[in-house]
């Protein structure tokens, strides 16, 4: 459904060039919940901006249902890390959530239903008339999630959406995302620097190398579909998976190659493509 092919992004400054993303290729199937992790500064945000059509890649392309993404595509919603800047402070919660639906020209009665449902789903049924600045950080992020959900996207991209909320709220929001994903059947790409969060949330984890970035490994998370904070995180398999991701990220930081790369190098093969299991 979402295809990233040979994506490269070089930021051109007056003084210097930064090659943020070198060569990224991967596919996200319809209905997948995929987490993306990588060392700090490896280009996760850059990748997401390219995928959502907010930034033009230097080379390569992103396709959504076979159609090249050249601007923000209809059917895609993005939740950013900085909830403080993603809500309009002069609009109350209801109006913030409703705005994209007006732009989508959804009829008034249907808008009302979608906003009510989305706010109830994120536990904010009582906060319709509050303004963002009257809410806690976790509540503001819930509003941003409600706005994305009410839009009924086919694809939801999330860029470290819980980085600025406390641990307890974060755990609640993680469960909320899995709940919404299961109920709505939406395709989710979730960027995080938190390894535990990636393993807990994802059906698949894509591990990126250090900048300039390539895909280091695509790991299937073979944990049961029913997950909860207490039991899933206590499973021996959870510990194994998180240990594996941790090792991969440490190796990425050191700039070490994968086992596959070592085999390629030994065989004299092209050392550019790096894909794991
Ligand atoms: N607008 C810009 N102009 C120039 N360089 C940029 C710009 N935005 C990002 N970069 C550089 O591109 C690289 C990747 O940045 P990006 O923010 O995409 O990484 P990230 O993985 O999201 O980082 P973090 O994990 O710290 O949030 C970094 O070296 C960064 O300095």
pLDDT in tens, 180-202: 899 888 999 999 989 999 999 99
Instruction: Please tell me if the CB atom of residue 46 comes closer than 6 angstroms to any atom of ligand 1.
Output: yes
User: Is the ipTM value over 0.90, yes or no?
Assistant: yes
Confidence of residue 119 (pLDDT cuts 50, 70, 90): very high
Structure tokens at 145: 């999630």
| Whole-number pLDDT of residue 210 | 83
Structure tokens at 198: 């990636």
In this structure, is residue 151 part of a structural domain?
yes
Structure tokens at 37: 């992790």
Cα 203 to its chain centre, rounded Å, is 13
In this structure, is residue 12 part of a structural domain?
yes
Cis peptide before 236 (omega within 30 of 0): no
Instruction: Please tell me if the CB atom of residue 44 comes closer than 6 angstroms to any atom of ligand 1.
Output: yes
Atom 17, ligand 1: which residue's CA is nearest? 45
In this structure, is residue 214 part of a structural domain?
no
In this structure, is residue 135 part of a structural domain?
yes
Instruction: Please tell me if the CB atom of residue 121 comes closer than 6 angstroms to any atom of ligand 1.
Output: no
Atom 11, ligand 1: which residue's CA is nearest? 20
CA of 254 to the centre of ligand 1 (A): 19
Instruction: Please tell me if the CB atom of residue 41 comes closer than 6 angstroms to any atom of ligand 1.
Output: yes
- β-pairing, 67-68 with 59-64? antiparallel
User: Tokens 């409600």 belong to which residue?
Assistant: 146
Tell me which of 23 and 261 has the higher pLDDT: 23
**Mean per-residue pLDDT, 66-80:** 91
Confidence of residue 258 (pLDDT cuts 50, 70, 90): low
The number of the ligand 1 atom at minimal distance from the alpha carbon of 208 is: 21
Backbone angles phi, psi at 119, to 5 degrees: -70, -35
Instruction: Please tell me if the CB atom of residue 81 comes closer than 6 angstroms to any atom of ligand 1.
Output: no
The number of the ligand 1 atom at minimal distance from the alpha carbon of 38 is: 21
User: Tokens 């319809």 belong to which residue?
Assistant: 30
* Alpha-carbon distance values, 141 to 71, 74, 247 (Å): 24, 22, 31
CA of 60 to the centre of ligand 1 (A): 18
Structure tokens at 86: 């993603």
In this structure, is residue 233 part of a structural domain?
no
- β-pairing, 33-37 with 204-208? parallel
Taking the C-alpha atoms of residue 247 and residue 205, their distance in angstroms, rounded to an integer, is 14
In this structure, is residue 11 part of a structural domain?
yes
Whole-prediction pTM: 0.87
CA of 118 to the centre of ligand 1 (A): 32
- pLDDT averaged over every residue in the chain: 87
**Mean per-residue pLDDT, 195-212:** 92
**Highest-pLDDT range among 25-34, 40-49, 179-188:** 25-34
| Whole-number pLDDT of residue 112 | 95
Instruction: Please tell me if the CB atom of residue 193 comes closer than 6 angstroms to any atom of ligand 1.
Output: yes
pLDDT at 276 over 60: no
Identify the CATH number of the domain in which residue 139 sits. 3.40.50.300
| Whole-number pLDDT of residue 147 | 93
Quote the domain boundaries for residue 170. Answer: 2-190
Atom 16, ligand 1: which residue's CA is nearest? 43
| Whole-number pLDDT of residue 6 | 94
Tell me which of 200 and 145 has the higher pLDDT: 200
Instruction: Please tell me if the CB atom of residue 211 comes closer than 6 angstroms to any atom of ligand 1.
Output: yes
Instruction: Please tell me if the CB atom of residue 11 comes closer than 6 angstroms to any atom of ligand 1.
Output: yes
Structure tokens at 140: 């503001």
What is the three-class DSSP state of 63?
strand
Query: Residue 31 burial by CB count (10 A; 0-12/13-18/19+): exposed, middle or buried?
Result: middle
Domain count, the chain: 1
Per-residue pLDDT tens for 146-185?
999 899 899 999 999 888 778 888 888 899 899 889 988 8
Per-residue pLDDT tens for 235-250?
999 999 999 999 999 8
In this structure, is residue 19 part of a structural domain?
yes
């Amino acid at each position: 459904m979402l295809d990233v092919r040979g994506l490269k992004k070089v930021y051109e400054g007056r003084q210097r060039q930064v090659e943020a993303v070198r060569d990224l290729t991967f596919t996200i199937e319809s209905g997948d919940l995929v987490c993306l992790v990588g060392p700090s500064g490896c280009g996760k945000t850059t990748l997401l901006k390219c995928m959502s059509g907010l930034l033009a890649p230097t080379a390569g392309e992103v396709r959504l249902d076979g159609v090249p993404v050249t601007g923000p595509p209809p059917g895609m919603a993005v939740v950013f890390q900085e909830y403080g800047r993603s809500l309009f402070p002069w609009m109350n919660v209801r109006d913030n959530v409703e705005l994209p639906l007006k732009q989508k020209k959804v009829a008034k009665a249907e808008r009302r239903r979608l906003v009510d449902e989305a706010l109830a789903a994120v536990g904010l049924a009582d906060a319709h008339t509050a303004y963002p600045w009257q809410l806690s950080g976790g509540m503001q992020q819930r509003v941003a999630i409600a706005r994305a959900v009410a839009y009924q996207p086919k694809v939801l991209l999330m860029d470290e959406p819980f980085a600025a909320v406390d641990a307890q709220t974060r755990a609640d929001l993680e469960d909320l995302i899995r709940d919404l994903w299961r109920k709505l059947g939406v395709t989710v790409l979730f960027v995080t620097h938190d390894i535990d969060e990636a393993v807990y949330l994802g059906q698949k984890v894509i591990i990126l190398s250090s900048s300039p970035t390539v895909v280091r490994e695509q790991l299937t998370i073979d944990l049961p579909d029913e997950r909860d904070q207490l039991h899933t995180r206590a499973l021996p398999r959870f510990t194994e998976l998180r240990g594996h991701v941790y090792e991969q990220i440490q190796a990425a930081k050191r700039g070490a190659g994968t086992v596959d790369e070592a085999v390629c190098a030994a065989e004299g093969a092209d050392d550019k493509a790096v894909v794991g299991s």
